[in-house]
Amino acid sequence: MKTIVLLPTAYGAYRNRLLETIRLEVSEMVAELNAEIVSLNTDSKSHIVVSIRGEDEEFIANALAKEYGSSLQSEDLVPNRTYSGQLVDVGRVGYGIYSDIGVTDSKRLDALVPLHRLRDQFTLHGPLKKIVEAFVLVEHLPVEVNLTSIDLYNNRVEGEFNKSTLTRITEWMNDDHERLLIFGANYKQIEISLKKTKHREDIYEIEQLGKFEFSLKCKRSTRASGILAAIGPKLRGVPMHLFIPKELEAMKDAKT
């Protein structure tokens, strides 16, 4: 039997539905091969864990790693390399922000982006709370982190946001479209909710940030807060965050 821990996470009110989404996708993948799904669940940090048994289990595990990304061991981390992850424990500490980059061995490392690096990268001084709120750095936000230092002896890994992540946020800030971020739902759920509330035509684009993390780009005439009010009850318990450039710019310029 082959077990693989995937990079995506299944969490929140629809955790079981998200797992079922993965199960269906993996089932399609193994349908023509000599293997079966033994189990599909999550680990303590909500990463999806798939166990496969059969003659083609090794091939399927490699295919899954390529499709979804897979977990890492701390000893395999390399400085100056970029890792995909998502923000975790946002607001838990005041000295920086953590990204879960999928390290799943006994040392369970998350990459810390220290406050001084955040200030430099976003050219905004002040406390962490201001930076987090001004750029909507929220729990489960998918990010790319470039590791700058690795100290396994002291169980500490530090990094900075990769240019791709900074560019995405900057483009959103400079755009005149409002956005609604939805984390912990699948694409079909979002589409159904928009159609039921007759708001599908108000969305210019549904951008997939992670496996179950989406950005809804509203049309210029549409307020993201109105979309949230409409579909929120349809996706009760799913985290949603407004990204409204004008309000965020005002927040940046406000005195701490």
CATH number at residue 238: 3.30.70.260
Q: With cut-offs at 50, 70 and 90, classify the pLDDT of residue 218.
A: very high
81 and 165, same domain (yes or no): yes
Domain span at residue 125? Answer: 74-170
Mean pLDDT of 198-221: 97
What is the rounded distance in angstroms from the CA atom of residue 222 to the CA atom of residue 241? Answer: 16
Q: With cut-offs at 50, 70 and 90, classify the pLDDT of residue 105.
A: confident
In 10 A of CB 5, how many CB atoms? Answer: 17
Specify the pLDDT at position 256.
58
Q: Report how many domains make up the chain.
A: 3
- What percent of the chain has a predicted confidence (pLDDT) above 90? 92
What is the rounded distance in angstroms from the CA atom of residue 126 to the CA atom of residue 138? Answer: 18
Half-sphere exposure in the Cβ direction for 78 (13 Å, CA): 4
pLDDT tens by residue, 138-163: 999 999 999 999 999 999 999 999 99
Domain at 154, CATH number: 2.40.50.140
101 and 153, same domain (yes or no): yes
Note the pTM of the prediction, 2 decimals.
0.95
* Final residue in a domain of this structure, among 129, 151, 170: 170
243 and 179, same domain (yes or no): yes
Q: Does the pLDDT at position 106 exceed 90?
A: no
Q: Does the pLDDT at position 222 exceed 90?
A: yes
